[in-house]
Structure 1
Amino acid sequence: MLFTEDFLHYVWKFRLFDRLNLCTTEGEEIEIYSVGLHNTHAGPDFQNARIRIGDTTWAGNAELHLSSSDWQRHGHTDDNAYDNVILHVVYNDDAPVTLPSGRAVPTLELKNRISSDLYQRYHNLVFGNQTIIPCEAGIGRIDPLTMQNWLTRVLVERLEKRAEAVNAALAINRGDWEETFYQHLAANFGFKTNALPFELLAKSLPQNILAKHKNNPLQIEALIFGQAGFLENEPEDEYPRSLKKEYDYLRKKLSLTPVENHLWKFLRMRPQNFPTVRLAQFAALIVQSSHLFSKILELKELKELRALFADIKVNDYWENHYRFDKKSPPSAKHFGQASVDTILLNTVALFLFSYGKHIQTTYFTSRALKLLENIPAENNHVTADFTNLGVNIFTAFESQALLELKNNYCDYKKCLQCGVGIKILKPG
C-alpha cells in the first residue's frame, strides 16, 4: 500500500479500522475508550487517550507511525515528551519499542485492519490524476451544511493569517490603527500590480504630514504625486506644473524623498487602472476623509461603507487625462463599485477582523464576516474552476474561503485535514 502517515492519523482518529478482537502485538486485549485529541504540534500525535490494555485502563498519549522502527528513526527514544505514550499504533510492526526507563511500549498493528475500499478511495483522492483539485469528482456532491461549515472555518483561518501581518505593521506603527489602516489601504489602492509603490508612498508620507494640509487639496495632490515620483521632470500642462511648484516647496521644507518612479507599472493595464488615476483617486479620498478607520468602526451598513469610497471626486484635470501632459477623450474617473468592493474585501473586512481579534471582541470579527457575506464573489480562475465543478459561489465570503482552500489545502493535497476530503472518504 502507498500512503502517508496522515492517512494512519485519519484512520485512527475516526476509528476506521476493524476493531474486532483488538490486541497488542504481544497478545494483550485492547479496548479503546477514547483515541485522544489530535495534536498537530510537537509531541505525541494524540493526547489524552483512554485505552484499556489487558486488565489496566491507561490515560495518556498515542503515537502513530507507518512502521514501528520509525520511533527510533524519528528520535523519540531519548525524548522525554514521549514518556507518557500508552500505545504505539503502526501499520507495520517491524521492531520493538522501549523507553529509556525500560518500559516496553504496547503496539497495535493495523496492517490487516484497514479495508481495501477505504484505501482505494484514499488513493484515488490523493494520488489520482486530477487536473484541478484532488476531490474534483466529488466536491459538487458535498451537502450544503458540510460545505458551509468547512468554508467558514477556512475563511477564519485565512483572516487570522492575514491579521498577523496587520499586527506586525501595527507594532511598527506603535499601536496606531489609523496609520496602519492608511498604509494598508494605500497598498490596496494599487491592487496587485502597484501595491508595492503605493505602500512605499504611504510609508514615506505619514498621515500627520497630510493632516497639516487637509484644507488645501492642491497641496495634498502635490504631496501624493510628488512622493510617487511623477513630478521629477518639468511638466507641460498648467495643472501638473502647479503641482510641481507646490511639491518642490514642500519637499524642501519637509525633507521628503520620493518613491522611485520606475516602480510604477502601466504596461498591459486598462487606462482606468493606471497608477496616475489611482493616485488621483487616493488623493481625493485623503482630502475628503479624516479618521477613516474610526468611521469604519462606526458604520454598520454596506451602503454606508461603499459611500466612503464611491463618492470621491478627482481633480477635473483627470476627466480628460490618464497621464500628465497626454490628453484623452473625456471619461469619468470615479471609483467603480467593483473597485470599492475590492477595497472593502481586502482592507475593511480584514481590519474589522483584526481589530476584533486584537481587542478580543467578537462584535467586530462577526461584522467582518457579515460584510464578506454581502459583497459579491470575486471572478477569477480559481472561482471559475470551482463553479465548473458544481460549487455554488455567490459572495466574497465563499470566494475568499475557496481561495484559501485551493492555495493551502488542495494544492498540497491536505485532503485528510480538509472537511470536504474527510466527508468524501467517510464510509456511508
Structure 2
Amino acid sequence: MAINENFLSFLWQFRLFTAQPLYCVDGERLRVIHPGWLNTHAGPDFMQATLEIGGVRWVGNVEIHVNASDWFLHNHELDKSYDSVVLHVVYAHDRAIYRGNQTLIPAFEIKEIFDVRYLQQYQQLINERTVFPCAAQVTHVDPLTVSWMLSRVLADRLERKSDELLQQVKHLQGDWEAALYHCLARSFGFKTNTVPFELLAASLRHPILVKHHRDPLQVDALIFGQAGFLAGAFEEIYPQQLQEEYNYLRKKWRLVPIDVSLWKFLRMRPASFPTVRLAQFAALMWRTPVLFAELMHCRELHELHHFFEQLSTASYWDHHYTFKKVSAGAHTHMGISSVNSILINAFCIVLYSYGKHTANQEYKDRAISFLEEIAAERNHLVDSYAENGIKIENAFDSQAILELNKYYCSQKKCLNCGIGVKLLKR
C-alpha cells in the first residue's frame, strides 16, 4: 500500500508508534515532548517541536518525508528556512541529510514501528466512492468532535472571506459602503450570474448610484443600462423611459455597459431570471443607498430582514420576467431562502470583516450570531451530509459543511480533519 507524507504526518502528530523507547537511526534515544504544530504554509512540516535527543533538549522544526532523499527532490538544500530542522522524520532512511553549515540532521525512521491497520483504514477511507469519504462511518464519531470540526472550518471560512474582502476594501481606498455594494452585487448573482453581477458593479461605481438614489427610474436605468439590457427598440413605456434616462446618464458619467450575452437564463425559474434579480437589486439600492451605515446598527436578525421586506420593484415587473414579453401574474418578490443567502454571503461577511478590520470582537460575534439564527441552506451538497447523519440546524452549520467539503472532503484530506482522525484512531 502506498505511503504518503500526509499519513506519516498523522503518525508523527499523534505519536502512533508501536515501539518504546524510540531511537534515531544513529542509535541515540529520542523522546518526543511535543511533536510541534502542523504547518500548512511554506516551510518545515511541524513548527516548534520540543524533543530530547541523546539526552539533549531541542526546540525547533520537524520535516517529514517518505524517503530521506526526498529532501533534495524538494530542493530543501536551497532553502535556509530548513536549517532550523532539528529532526528528519522518514518512512525509509536512504540518505543522511546535512544543514547548510554541514551539521547532521538527526533522522527518525518509522518504517517498522507503526500499526499497519492505521494505513489500511486510511486507504479504505480515501478510496470510498461515497458523497464524502466518511459518509458510511461518520455516525460513529461523537457529536462533540463533529461540532468542533464544523466550528473550526467555519472560522477558517470567515477568516478567508474576510481577508478577500479586506483586500477589496483596500482597493476601494477604505470605502466600506462601496465594498458592501460589490459584495451585495456578487450575492445577487446566486452563483449562476455571479460574474456578470461583479462586472456590473465594477462598471457602475457606487457613488454614482448614491447621487441618483432619490429617483428610482434613474437607478433602474443605470443598472439595467450597464447590464446591457437597454439596447435596441422597445414598444412599452417603461423600458423606453429607462432607455432615455440611460442614454443621458451614460454620456454624463462616461459609462460603458457590459455585454448582455454574459447573463444566463437557461434552466432557471422565471423568478430567478437575471432581469428580476437586477430589478430587486435596483430596488434595494434606491431604497437604502447607505446600507453599510445601517448594517452596523443592526443587532437583531429581523432588522436585516427588514431591508428586504419593503423592497418595491417597478410595477412593470408585476407583469414581466424579461423585457418585451408579458407574463401574467409575474412574481418578483424575493423569497426567504434568497434573502437568507444574501444575508449570509454579504451582510454577515461584511460585518465580520469590519470587526476584524477594527479589532472589534463585538461585530464578529454578531455576524456569527446571525449565522446561528439564519436557517440552514438547502442544496444537494448540504442535504447529502445531513442524510448521512451530520446534524445541520442553521446557516452556521451549512456554511461549515460547504467549507469542509471544498477544502477537506473533496481533496481527501481526512488526516487533517478532526472527524477523519477520530475515525482512524478508533
Question: TM-score normalized by structure 1?
Answer: 0.93
Aligned to 1:347: 346
Aligned to 1:90: 90
Alignment partners' CA distance in 2, 1:35 and 1:180: 42
Aligned to 2:413: 414
* Matched residue SS, 2:22: coil
Aligned: 1:384 with 2:365: no
Q: Do 1:310 and 1:336's aligned partners in 2 also have CA atoms closer than 8 Å?
A: no
Aligned residues: 426
Q: Do 1:251 and 1:257's aligned partners in 2 also have CA atoms closer than 8 Å?
A: yes
What aligned pairs does 1:28-427 form with structure 2 within 5 A after superposition?
A: 28-77=28-77, 79-126=79-126, 128-427=127-426
Aligned to 1:6: 6
Select between 413-422 and 362-371 the one with higher mean Cα deviation.
Answer: 362-371
Select between 220-229 and 383-392 the one with higher mean Cα deviation.
Answer: 220-229
- For 1:168-193, what per-residue CA distance to the aligned partner results, in whole angstroms no more than 9, with x for missing partners? 32122111010111122122222222
1:358 shift after superposition: 1.4
1:113 shift after superposition: 0.9
* Cα distance change of structure 1 residues 119 and 260 upon mapping to structure 2, 3 Å threshold: closer
1:227 shift after superposition: 2.1
Q: Do 1:130 and 1:136's aligned partners in 2 also have CA atoms closer than 8 Å?
A: no
Select between 82-91 and 131-140 the one with higher mean Cα deviation.
Answer: 82-91
Q: Do 1:310 and 1:337's aligned partners in 2 also have CA atoms closer than 8 Å?
A: no
* Matched residue SS, 1:17: coil
- For 1:323-371, what per-residue CA distance to the aligned partner results, in whole angstroms no more than 9, with x for missing partners? 2232221234222211111110111111111111111222112111111
Unaligned 5+ segments in structure 1 are none
- For 1:238-289, what per-residue CA distance to the aligned partner results, in whole angstroms no more than 9, with x for missing partners? 2222222222222233322222222222222211112222222222212211
Q: What amino acid sits opposite 2:82 in the alignment?
A: Y
Q: Do 2:321 and 2:330's aligned partners in 1 also have CA atoms closer than 8 Å?
A: no
Alignment partners' CA distance in 2, 1:253 and 1:54: 78
Alignment partners' CA distance in 2, 1:253 and 1:107: 71
Q: CA RMSD in A?
A: 2.0
Q: What amino acid sits opposite 1:311 in the alignment?
A: Q
Q: Do 1:140 and 1:389's aligned partners in 2 also have CA atoms closer than 8 Å?
A: yes
Question: TM-score normalized by structure 2?
Answer: 0.94
Aligned to 1:22: 22
Alignment partners' CA distance in 2, 1:228 and 1:72: 54
Q: What amino acid sits opposite 1:2 in the alignment?
A: A
* Cα distance change of structure 1 residues 231 and 399 upon mapping to structure 2, 3 Å threshold: same
Alignment partners' CA distance in 1, 2:227 and 2:378: 30
Q: What amino acid sits opposite 1:183 in the alignment?
A: H
1:79 shift after superposition: 4.4
* Cα distance change of structure 1 residues 260 and 102 upon mapping to structure 2, 3 Å threshold: closer
* Cα distance change of structure 1 residues 108 and 310 upon mapping to structure 2, 3 Å threshold: same
* Cα distance change of structure 1 residues 142 and 230 upon mapping to structure 2, 3 Å threshold: same
Alignment partners' CA distance in 2, 1:86 and 1:253: 66
Q: What amino acid sits opposite 1:28 in the alignment?
A: E
Q: Do 1:310 and 1:334's aligned partners in 2 also have CA atoms closer than 8 Å?
A: no
Alignment partners' CA distance in 1, 2:248 and 2:152: 52
Q: What amino acid sits opposite 2:142 in the alignment?
A: D
Alignment partners' CA distance in 1, 2:335 and 2:152: 31
* Matched residue SS, 1:412: coil
* Matched residue SS, 1:30: strand
Runs of 4+ residues over 6 Å off in structure 1 = none
Q: Do 1:92 and 1:110's aligned partners in 2 also have CA atoms closer than 8 Å?
A: yes
Select between 310-319 and 159-168 the one with higher mean Cα deviation.
Answer: 159-168
1:19 shift after superposition: 4.0
